[in-house]
Structure 1
Amino acid sequence: MIKIFGKIRYHWQPELSWLIIYWSIAIAPIFIGLSLLFERTRIPSYIFILFALFIVLVSIGFYRYFIIEDNGILRVVSLNPRIPKKIAIASIDKIEVTYSTLALHLADGQSYMFYMRKWPKKYFLDALAVDPDFRGEVELLDNFTKMDYFEVYKENKKTPTKL
């Protein structure tokens, strides 16, 4: 959760297998460049190309987040073309929450799964629950395997407020 220009961003990651594959590909150019640099006494120009490729892939890797807008729209920012860019908050029927995932089920039958860490997910759910357009339900699953995560929701008696 990061606040930039007055908007709060809630970061998410893709599925774990895609996450491992992507970051392995993203980190590979810097290691290839460093190993090639170790073999030479001068700095070849393709080392800079590999370093630039590394910087581009890392910046793309962190470009996944949610923004809850004031007009009842949940904006999903990602370079994945299969994920919608804007979701009406009123069209969300149910949100299933597990220890590592958040599944959005829409009124038209579509569902999308996002992997989030514990605290951004908690703040995202709190902000979404107090949104006046949200009429869906939040279902906590997986409560017998990772009990400590769900205890946070039970013990926190503070009423969520809109930021």
Structure 2
Amino acid sequence: MRDKFHWRLELAYAIIYWSFTYSFLFLGLILSLEKAHLNWRSLVAFVVFFSLIVIDRRRFIQFTDNQMKLSYGNYWKKVAITYQACEKVEVFVDALLIHHQTKKTLLYFSEKEKEKMLLYLEKMYPGKIIYHANKYDQS
């Protein structure tokens, strides 16, 4: 079983990230419309825009047979957590908090992704899942 579930940034960071990303799209469009054809400046802006989209799509959690792999978008930061090392998983309305080896990993999911992923979590972690009816409070 190898399924990927894409997680998101926190809302404030997501707004900043996507504003930055779309600014390169609009910059590329403006630069290409100035000359009425594609020039190298507009191509650079489009390449930066598409590379930021690819980086966002690399942010996922993947379940394999004996571990879950967390990818943070950049190519050098990946974490593999074995199922035995995970102590508990807390499910909030807007987030998922994974406790493993004295660390906490907080992941935000859309509602649709979270519902699909909870089916896998219930199979992998019977008795380790704690459900909360409120949003995650960082204090």
Q: Do both share a fold (TM > 0.5)?
A: yes
TM-score if structure 2 supplies the norm length?
0.83
* 2:17 matches 1:22: yes
Give 1:48's aligned residue.
Answer: 43
Q: Does 1:92 align with 2:83?
A: no
Q: What is the number of residues matched between the two proteins? A: 135
SS state at 1:102 partner: strand
Letter in 1 for 2:117: F
2:131 aligned to which of 136, 140, 157: 140
Contact preservation (8 Å) 2:55, 2:74: no
| Superposition misfits of 4+ residues, deviation over 6 angstroms | none
Match of 1:125 in 2: 118
1:73-92 correspondence runs (5 A): 73-79=67-73, 85-92=79-86
Counterpart of 1:90 in 2: which secondary structure?
A: coil
Structure 1 residues without counterparts, runs of 5 or longer: 1-5, 146-163
CA contact (8 A) 2:22 2:49 kept: yes
Q: Which has the higher strand share?
A: 2
Q: 1:155 maps to what in 2? A: none
- Runs of 5+ in structure 2 lacking a partner? none
Q: Which has the larger radius of gyration?
A: 1
The percent of aligned pairs where both chains have the same amino acid is 24
> Structure 2 vs 1, CA of residues 125 and 83 (structure 1 numbering), >3 Å: closer, same or farther?
farther
- Give CA deviations for 1:76-123 in whole Å, capped at 9, x if unaligned: 1223589651011122222111121001012x3210100001222122
Pairwise CA distance, 1:126: 1.6
Residue 43 and residue 113 in structure 1: after superposition, are their counterparts in 2 closer, same or farther (change >3 A)? same
Does the CA-based 8 Å contact 1:93-1:136 persist in structure 2?
A: no
Partner of 2:98: 104
The alignment partner of 1:85 has SS state of: strand
Cα–Cα, structure 1 residues 104 and 83, in superposed 2: closer, same or farther, change >3 Å? farther
CA deviation after TM superposition for structure 1 residue 52, in Å: 1.1
Change (3 A) 1:109 1:84: farther
